[in-house]
Amino acid sequence: MNISGSGHALADATVIITGSSSGIGRATAVALATSGARIVLAVRDAEKGRVVASSLPGIPGTHRVRTLDLARLESVEAFVSGIDEPVAVLINNAGVESKDLQRTADGHELQFGTNHLGHFLLTTLLLRQITDRVVSVASQAERMGRLDLADLDWRRRPYRGGQAYADSKLANLLFTAELDRRLRASGSSVRALAAHPGLVRTAIYDRPAGQRPNLWDRLVPVLGQSADEGALPSLLAATGDVPGGAFVGPERMLHMRGGAQLIGRSRRAEDPVLAAELWAASEQMTAAVPRE
């Protein structure tokens, strides 16, 4: 994957990528390491991370592995405490999908807690060290999102895993929009962007033994693209000449396959009031200190 023609050079710059031991995160790490970036692999499984780090282009020791469990806010804080250098790009790539109600170590609904809250805390704690961009991997599933700000943790409503996943992806886009607004208001040159990988054959669609596959599970092996192809939107968002607040996704098949370009989003994802309210709720849920 060649990104040498991109509008932004990352040679010798530090890039943090969550969930980079497999799938789209690993493909993104390989591409950016090839361009000369120093990769920090932020992963739950350090051993898997070390295997990937040893395979990345560059002088031995260039790339580092740091343990990060986004479903445990204490782990996020510990990870950030160990980053003492400028970070050019933070790529919030990691994500989970679950049909059944599960909770994080802090009691939050697992998909919202991991896909949004963990990355929210990671970003806000690291923000003063970020020099260029924050890229959050979202999804067009956001169009089905219906965030209930009064019940973000699904304590009153009957649980629907697919809806919770879509809600978490809508949260990714609202977070990106509000973060970029705050950065511009503060006069910062840092940009916040979101990327949609399309339909990709990754482990996120793997199901436990005995669990019936849904429609997407059946379509992925037939229509899904490779992780290398799915990484292209993240790479454009991380290195291309694109504006803050942009949403980048595939070019073809209703933005589900091939290439990368700017794409649209739902009206809810563009709602500034909802974005601000979600930010306030996220601060409360993570006990994050506002970082302006």
Examine the residue annotation and report whether 205 is marked as an active-site residue of this protein: no
Q: How far apart are CA 51 and CA 90, in angstroms?
A: 21
In DSSP notation, 55-68 reads HSSSSTTSSEEEE-
In DSSP notation, 73-141 reads HHHHHHHHHT--S-EEEEEE------SS--B-TTSSBHHHIIIIIIHHHHHHHHGGGEEEEEEEE--GG
One-letter amino acid at 123 equals T
Nearest of 193, 151, 182 to residue 8 by alpha carbon: 193
Helices 46-55, 23-34: inter-axial angle, 10-degree rounding:
30
Q: Which of 120, 165, 205, 247 is catalytic?
A: 165
The two tokens of residue 268 are: 């809810």
Three-state secondary-structure class, residue 239: helix
Q: Is the dihedral of CA 89, 290, 143, 165 positive or negative?
A: positive
Alpha-helical runs (H) found in the chain: 23-34, 46-55, 73-81, 110-112, 119-126, 161-185, 215-223, 227-230, 232-239, 272-286
Contact 169, 138 (CB under 8 A): yes
DSSP type of residue 203 = G
Q: Give catalytic residues, as residue numbers.
A: 165
